[in-house]
Amino acid sequence: MTIDPNHLRLLTVVPAVLLGVAAVVATVWLAAHLVRYLLADAEIRPAIRVGWRIRSTWRRTAMRVGLVQTERVRPPLWSSRPQTVVVRRELVPAVRVRARRWGVEVDAATVGRLGLVEFQNAAGHLADAWRVPQVRVAQVRPGLVRLRALLIDPLTQPTTWGGQTATGDHLETWSAGVDADSQPVTIRSSGVSGVVVAGLAGFGKTSLLNARFCQLAPSPAVQFVLIDGKGGPDYDDLFRRAWLSAKDDPEQVRDHLARVHELMTGRQRCIRSVLGVKNVWHLGLSASWPLVVVVIDEAHTFFNESKGTDAESKKRDAVARQTTRLVEELVRKGRNVGIQVILATQKATGDAIPTKIRDNCQVAVSFAQRTSEAATAVLGSDITGFPDEHPRRLQDPAYIGVASMVAAGRPGFTLVRTPYVSDEAADRIAADTAGLVRDPLRLLADAARADRPGGQDREGGGSFRQEHPAALPAISPPTSGEEPRR
Ligand SMILES: Nc1ncnc2c1ncn2[C@@H]1O[C@H](COP(=O)(O)OP(=O)(O)OP(=O)(O)O)[C@@H](O)[C@H]1O
């Protein structure tokens, strides 16, 4: 048999052309990557190199660290093997690799039983294989897990407070800072009566409280009660913007809290007739019915019950018990009338903050903690399922100002870089807004008077009703349900 020379030429030319095309594609691909690398700034180049390594070795690495799903299937239709044979197939999660300024972002598709937990378990091995200090894992959405091979941890980059002005939004949500992707993180504030902020000394609690103060102080719809258990000068200048203020004098603190409690019971009595709702958050806070934020820094100072039997110890013990009861009631019953207690403490274990107070707080924030017990005391036992967000990981000084928390609209826990707010910035805002201080008890008395039949302001509507156009007239029949009015 002779071979047609034309066919012979075809047999050699086609592979040569295919090879040539493949070589051109590979060269263009390499050149594109090289150009991208050369054009990238020096900061991102190490991440690009690590990204190349991750992409080119992914299949092998995944198999070595156990991120592979094995299944038994029939051979594909085009296979030469008979369809009766069962073959083993190894499935490795598909990945998309992108270089970022802080490292490499690897989006991996989940496969079978390979999900968030399996990736989290393999994170240490992946960090070794990729030669990076740390790999963090989070579920972005069902079916997609994001691995972050960190060359620099973005959370270690400090930020400072930008001086945003107060808006109604700040009353409803608390801007806490940014996450590891620089995305803003907020904490729920609407309908919250208790917040616990805990963490080792010097890790940013006071700065976080300063930030909250700066967000809220410019609003006439907020009045503060500031209590500084440290007794130092930290809050001296902020006191100008406070309705009530105290340092570490237990009796004065107890008396202030008793006045807030009086406000709470007064508001509970007349909220329905004055506002026409059972929950002020449904209507919105205002200058005449302001949110009362009670900040108690070093809160554990005031809950310490004395064991001594001498008269002085007994007196101190009685004050501590009264303070505990007042705070407990404010947290338990203050939600619907716009009273919010923020407790800051180094340790939130039951011996420092009574559990009947701590466990009723809807929001918890934890800076670095030395023990799991301390972290669980603040954030609850769920935190043990989030090793990456565990406050024990934050003990390095680079994480001063980073806290773990349950953020609004996000599943699980989130690590947040809170902005640093200098005392000077907070003091300036306190001085500029000192004129907004009002006595909420007096405001309540005015509102109740205006509301009473025959009250002076009744016919004209009064300042209270002008500020609350949504409030029901006092003569409206009681509503059966509690409807949001905005
Ligand atoms: N968000 C932050 N970013 C950067 N640095 C911060 C931040 N917060 C605090 N710091 C630094 O840490 C120091 C201590 O912060 P802060 O007083 O807020 O800690 P603390 O937890 O309240 O301590 P303590 O329990 O002793 O009151 C600050 O003076 C500042 O230098």
Residue 1: predicted pLDDT: 60
CA–CA dist 55, 150 (Å, integer): 16
SS3 state at 482: coil
Q: Does pLDDT of 83 surpass 90?
A: no
Residue 2: predicted pLDDT: 67
Q: Does pLDDT of 287 surpass 90?
A: yes
pLDDT category, 158, cuts 50, 70, 90?
confident
Residue with tokens 């709470």: 264
Q: What single letter denotes the amino acid at residue 155?
A: L
| Probe target for ligand 1 pocket from 400, 418, 421, with the most ligand atoms within 8 Å of CB | 400
- Is the distance from the beta carbon of residue 235 to the nearest atom of ligand 1 less than 6 Å? no
Per the model's pLDDT, the better-predicted residue between 485 and 218 turns out to be 218
**Strands 402-405, 414-417: parallel, antiparallel or unpaired by DSSP?**
antiparallel
CA 375 remoteness from chain centre:
15
Segment 460-485, tens digit of pLDDT: 334 444 444 444 333 333 333 333 33
Segment 307-345, tens digit of pLDDT: 777 888 888 899 999 999 999 999 999 999 999 999 999
- Is the distance from the beta carbon of residue 161 to the nearest atom of ligand 1 less than 6 Å? no
- Is the distance from the beta carbon of residue 346 to the nearest atom of ligand 1 less than 6 Å? yes
Angle at 369 between CA 158 and CA 367, to 5 degrees: 35
- The proportion of the chain whose per-residue pLDDT surpasses 90, expressed as a percent, equals 62
Q: What single letter denotes the amino acid at residue 144?
A: L
Residue 471: predicted pLDDT: 42
Mean of pLDDT values over 100-114:
93
pLDDT category, 422, cuts 50, 70, 90?
confident
- Is the distance from the beta carbon of residue 400 to the nearest atom of ligand 1 less than 6 Å? yes
Residue 61: predicted pLDDT: 97
Residue 423: predicted pLDDT: 86
Per the model's pLDDT, the better-predicted residue between 85 and 357 turns out to be 357
Determine whether the annotation assigns residue 201 to a binding site: yes
Q: Does pLDDT of 101 surpass 60?
A: yes
Determine whether the annotation assigns residue 177 to a binding site: no
Contacts of 135 (CB under 8 A, 6+ apart): 123, 124, 126, 127, 147, 148, 149, 150
Determine whether the annotation assigns residue 334 to a binding site: no
- Is the distance from the beta carbon of residue 203 to the nearest atom of ligand 1 less than 6 Å? yes
Determine whether the annotation assigns residue 206 to a binding site: yes
Mean of pLDDT values over 171-193:
89
Q: Does pLDDT of 166 surpass 80?
A: no
- Is the distance from the beta carbon of residue 350 to the nearest atom of ligand 1 less than 6 Å? no
pLDDT category, 133, cuts 50, 70, 90?
confident
SS3 state at 478: coil
Mean of pLDDT values over 166-186:
80
Mean of pLDDT values over 396-422:
91
Distance 367 CA to ligand 1 centre (A): 10
Residues forming beta bridges with residue 173, ordered by sequence position? 188
Residues forming beta bridges with residue 374, ordered by sequence position? none
Q: Does pLDDT of 176 surpass 70?
A: yes
Range name among 179-188, 296-305, 392-401, 459-468 with the lowest pLDDT average:
459-468
pLDDT category, 405, cuts 50, 70, 90?
very high
CA–CA dist 161, 212 (Å, integer): 10
- Is the distance from the beta carbon of residue 100 to the nearest atom of ligand 1 less than 6 Å? no
Q: What single letter denotes the amino acid at residue 288?
A: S
Contacts of 137 (CB under 8 A, 6+ apart): 116, 119, 120, 123, 145, 146, 147, 148, 388
- The proportion of the chain whose per-residue pLDDT surpasses 70, expressed as a percent, equals 91
Alpha carbon nearest to ligand 1 atom 10, residue: 204
- Is the distance from the beta carbon of residue 420 to the nearest atom of ligand 1 less than 6 Å? yes
In this structure, which long-range contacts are made by residues 172-176, counting pairs with CB atoms below 8 Å and at least 24 apart in sequence?
172/281, 173/408, 174/212, 174/215, 175/211, 175/215, 176/208, 176/365, 176/403, 176/405, 176/407, 176/416, 176/418
pLDDT category, 165, cuts 50, 70, 90?
low
- Is the distance from the beta carbon of residue 418 to the nearest atom of ligand 1 less than 6 Å? yes
SS3 state at 67: coil
Q: How far apart are the first and last CA of the chain?
A: 91
Nearest ligand 1 atom, CA 211: 1
| Probe target for ligand 1 pocket from 185, 207, 228, 402, with the most ligand atoms within 8 Å of CB | 207
CA–CA dist 99, 40 (Å, integer): 11
Residue 168: predicted pLDDT: 53
The mean pLDDT of the chain is 87
| Probe target for ligand 1 pocket from 153, 175, 203, 235, with the most ligand atoms within 8 Å of CB | 203
Cβ atoms 324, 303 nearer than 8 A: yes
pLDDT category, 15, cuts 50, 70, 90?
confident
Mind giving me the DSSP string for 69-98?
A: EEEEEPPPTTSSS-TT--EEEEE---EEEE
Segment 426-446, tens digit of pLDDT: 999 999 999 999 999 999 998
pLDDT category, 386, cuts 50, 70, 90?
confident
pLDDT category, 452, cuts 50, 70, 90?
low
Per the model's pLDDT, the better-predicted residue between 268 and 460 turns out to be 268
